[in-house]
Amino acid sequence: MTLFGEFLRNDHRRMHKWYQYFPAYEAHFARFRNRHVTLFEIGVGEGGALDLWRGYLGPFATLVGLDVYPRCRQLEGEQIHIRIGSQTDLGFLAAVVAEFGAPDIVIDDGSHLQHHINATFDFLYPKVAKNGVYLVEDLHAAYWPNHGGGLRRPGTFIETAKAYVDKIHADYIGETSIRTEAGDRTTSIHFYDSLVVFEVGEARKMMNKTTGQSERFDGTWAPEGTDKTEFSKLVDQIVDNIEKEGPEWETDPINDDRDAIIRNLQAELTLLRISSSWRMTEPVRAVLRLLRRRRTA
C-alpha cells in the first residue's frame, strides 16, 4: 500500500493533506524507511499525520511533534513524543534538539505565517543531519497577505527558498556575501505545488574533470560526400554565431528570444553531424543567411 493509499484508508485520528504532496513525500522519505530516524513535525493538529509517519517509516523511527496547543499532549504514545512550545521560540527549539538530537526530517506544517516559517528554518535547518530533509508545507500561504505573503514579496519563505538557489551556486558566482554554511550543505531544492523540500548533505568540495580519449572524436569530420574545407567553414560560422553577443540580439524585435535561436542552431548542427548528405545542411545555411542579412541591414 502506498502512503497515499494509507492516507485514504485512514479511520483513526484526523489529518488534512493536499493530494499533490504524496509523490513528494515518497520521493524524499523512502530512504528513511525501517531505519533509525528522527522526525520533527511542527504543527501536529489532531495527530493523524504522526500516525501516518509512524506506519510509513517503521518501528525504529522517533517522531517528535511540536505544537503550541497543550491538548496535543494526549497524542503521545509508542514512538511519538509531544513537546509544547512556539516554533519561533529558539530556546524551545534548542531544548528539543538537545533532547532528541539532530533531526533527519523536519516537516513545517505549523502556523504558515511567513516570519514564523523563516524563524524556524533559520534555526533548525543548520541542525538537520547529513542526508536529511527539510520540508515546508502549504506554501500557497506565501502568497496570502494575511499570512505575511504576496507575489515576490520580500520575507516570504518562497523568496527565502529562491535565494538558496544562489547560495548553492556561490562558488561559481564569486560573491562571498551570499555564501553560508547552510547553503554549502544544501545539495538540492525541490519546488512543488505549495511545497518546498531541501535536501541536506555536507559542504561540497568543488571538483570536476574530463575523462575519455580526445582522439575518439574527429574534429575534422564532415558528412560523407562533402568538402571538408567548406564544411569546416560552415561549422566555424555556426560556432561564431552561437558565441557572439552584440546589440543586434537585443535590438532586433524578431530575435528577442536569443536562447531559442541558439538552441535551434545547435539542433541543426546535430543534424549535420549525423547526416550523410549535404542537403541536410540547407536549413542551417538558411539560418546563417538570415542572420547575415539582419546584421548588414
User: Strand 195-200 and strand 186-192: pairing?
Assistant: antiparallel
Q: Is 28 a catalytic residue?
A: no
Residues 94 and 29: their CA atoms lie apart, in Å, by 24
Instruction: State the cell numbers at 40.
Output: 520533527
Q: Extract long-range pairs of 211-220: CB within 8 Å, 24+ residues apart.
A: none
Is the distance from CB of 70 to CB of 98 less than 8 angstroms? no
Going from the C-alpha of 237 to that of each of 153, 275, 284, the distances in angstroms are: 45, 18, 10
Instruction: State the cell numbers at 265.
Output: 542552431
Nearest to 183 by CA among 175, 195, 191, 193: 175
* Catalytic residue, candidates 28, 36, 81, 112: 112
Which residues carry out catalysis?
112
